[in-house]
Amino acid sequence: MVLQSRMGKKGLVTGEYKSLLLTICLILFNLLAATAGTAQSLLDKRISLSLQNEPVEKALEKIGQQADVKIVYSNNLFTAASPTITRSWQQEKTAVVLNQVLSSLDISYNEMDGNYIVLKKVKKSDNKANNVSGANDYADTTITVRGRLLTVQGLPVIGASITIAGSSKGTTSDLNGNYEIKNVGPSAVLRFSYIGYLPQDIAIVGRTVVNVSMVENAEGAKLNEVVVVGYATTTRRTNTGSVSSITSKDIGSQPVVDPISAMQGTMPGIFASASNGLTGSQFNVTIRGLNSLSAGSEPLYVIDGVPYFNESLNQFNSANGQQSPLASINTADIERIDVLKDADATAIYGARGSNGVILITTKKGKTGKTKFDLNVFTGGSQVVNQLDMLNTAQYRELRKEAFANDGIIPTVDNAPDLLVWDSTGTGTDWQDRMIGNTGRETQLQGSVSGGSEQTHFMVSGTYRNANSVQANDRGFTRGSLLFNLDHTALNGKFNISTSVNYSITSDKSLASDLTSYYEFAPNYPSYTATGDYYWFGTEQNPEAYFLRKSTAKTNNLIANGILRYTILPGLNAKVNLGFTKSNMDQVQVYPTATFNPANATGSMSYFGFSDAQTYLVEPQLDYSRR
């Protein structure tokens, strides 16, 4: 773009006045450029360009088109003797391209108002050679650069590193985010970096004020995550204790029944192992190792501020051992899980938190339009890496070799597998028979939530059914309902929050764990020729065990309410009310037909009932000022 000046008939513009008017315009341009804002410089834009014997004017026109900027200069700035340009650039900064195009000319440039780049003739000093820099008046002049580093929220970035690229010289930002660095070359590049933020390289192009907006990277964003620490909340950035957390996103990506399952392998310092692989089985949880050789290692569980049981309610075991106390908690209703360790746990919960504290926070309604969600998933599971089992022929060959090595003669009593049972078929793969099924899981979850700024709510219901890989397993079923409501008065002083979580589980896993029976001889007969169960000596018949029935039904209720009143700004009175109640009803039936007649005493039945409940009344007075 070429600046020109014209006047009407009443005035005649001479060449002298033209030059004066142009000089005034350029001075105004330079003054405006010195007060440019904090937005990204036009000179930092990256462009791709290819020039082939192009005049300087044409090259500048193409640069302006690529960088979406207007390059302004007087029409007598270039002469016919100006060189032509032949060069290519790929994703290079505009400042670098301009420097190289103007490198052989006595021309400098300045950015103005984020829209223009103004070119001007370089002034020559009396005691210096005609040194030229495309971005400043004198290439060997140094300047002092100042500025401020702010986050996108406008907060100062304290302790950020500011260095001159290619050198070890630098400084750091102060408590207000301000910095100052001296003896900087006008064409230097400053590098701004801070933990948790994306580093930035900015060419100063003669500017003495460079303000920077620091943008968080993915790891830095995590520092602003809210962390629950007992009776309060903080962020990862300001938390000084040892707290591990997972959110609903981490939990929802795993098809697990128990919240503890979601913690396995995802939280440092926490060791959780299931007693077996069956659905609903109890976990052994240890946080940072054992604290005692005799006492238990189970941590304290707190759900929505209410302490919860950490021991199983089973009166007797079934195939999955004892049922986990958290198997009644619906993982789809959990917003986050925070684990307090060491002093963080004991400082708040005392001796109860000596083994650590696991804080479970359920989902809450959010302000906005009423939203309906429906989620359905189904899946299957199988045992991987099964052992290679022997067929009948291979098994008999090894048995014969064993008898020969021991010098023992096989008889009907000590070797029925060689002399009595079938020797022609392939036999039964007991491993596949006991745990070769495909376990299937299905979950249906729906919720409705919404509300205004003063009142918001959430209602969620979930049904889940899971079968294990064991034969004849009748499955683990859970139904749950979650309701919560939060209301704040119009003046903002009074707030009430309530939450009710109710669930029913039914565990119909086998009465006995049959996985050990995979060691049976492959030609062991399950039935006689008449279809009755086959019995040998005092051995049990694993097929008969499938007739035994076991049922464990659990009802679980967790309710809490919080009343809060703001007495003065920052001073709040609060009462936390909580109630939990769980009971388990167990029945196991062993028919006579499931016992070996050699030692049978008749049928047996077992009945068990357990009940546990807690109450919580917790007045609080808290004060905080920012």
Q: Are residues 307 and 452 in the same domain?
A: no
Q: Are residues 230 and 210 in the same domain?
A: no
- 3-state percent helix, strand, coil for the chain, nearest multiple of 5: 20, 40, 40
* Euclidean distance between CA atoms 428 and 471, whole angstroms: 14
CATH no. for residue 179? Answer: 2.60.40.1120
Q: Are residues 153 and 49 in the same domain?
A: no
Domain-embedded: residue 135: no
Domain-embedded: residue 127: no
Residue 437 tokens, joined = 């099924």
Per-residue pLDDT of 82-117, as tens digits, reads 778 888 888 888 888 888 888 777 777 777 666 778
Residue ending a domain, among 155, 187, 219, is 219
Q: Are residues 80 and 172 in the same domain?
A: no
Per-residue pLDDT of 560-610, as tens digits, reads 999 999 999 889 999 999 999 999 999 999 999 889 888 888 889 999 999
Domain-embedded: residue 137: no
CATH no. for residue 312? Answer: 2.170.130.10
Q: Are residues 249 and 215 in the same domain?
A: no
Give the confidence band of 470 by pLDDT, cuts at 50, 70, 90: confident
Q: Are residues 356 and 382 in the same domain?
A: no
Domain-embedded: residue 461: yes
Domain-embedded: residue 7: yes
Domain-embedded: residue 147: yes
**DSSP notation for 120-169:** EEPP--SSS----BTTBS-TT--EEEEEEEEETTS-B-TT-EEEETTSS-
User: Residue 62's closest CA among 33, 87, 25?
Assistant: 87
Q: How many structural domains is the chain composed of?
A: 5
In which region does residue 219 sit, left (phi positive, over 0), alpha (psi from -120 to 50) or beta (all else)? alpha
Domain-embedded: residue 410: yes
Q: Are residues 475 and 606 in the same domain?
A: yes
Q: Are residues 578 and 465 in the same domain?
A: yes
Q: Are residues 61 and 168 in the same domain?
A: no
Residue ending a domain, among 87, 121, 155, is 121
Q: Are residues 355 and 230 in the same domain?
A: yes
Residue ending a domain, among 200, 219, 238, is 219
**Which structural domain, as residue segments, surrounds residue 473?**
373-386+432-623
CATH no. for residue 78? Answer: 3.55.50.30
- DSSP class of 26: H
Tell me if 20 sits within 8 A of 98, measured CB to CB: no
Q: Are residues 377 and 416 in the same domain?
A: no
Per-residue pLDDT of 359-393, as tens digits, reads 999 998 888 889 999 999 888 888 888 888 999 99
Q: What is the pTM of this model?
A: 0.61
Domain-embedded: residue 22: yes
Q: Which of 232-236, 293-297, 354-358 has the highest mean pLDDT?
A: 354-358
Q: Are residues 447 and 585 in the same domain?
A: yes
Give the confidence band of 52 by pLDDT, cuts at 50, 70, 90: confident
pLDDT at 139: 41
Give the confidence band of 10 by pLDDT, cuts at 50, 70, 90: very low
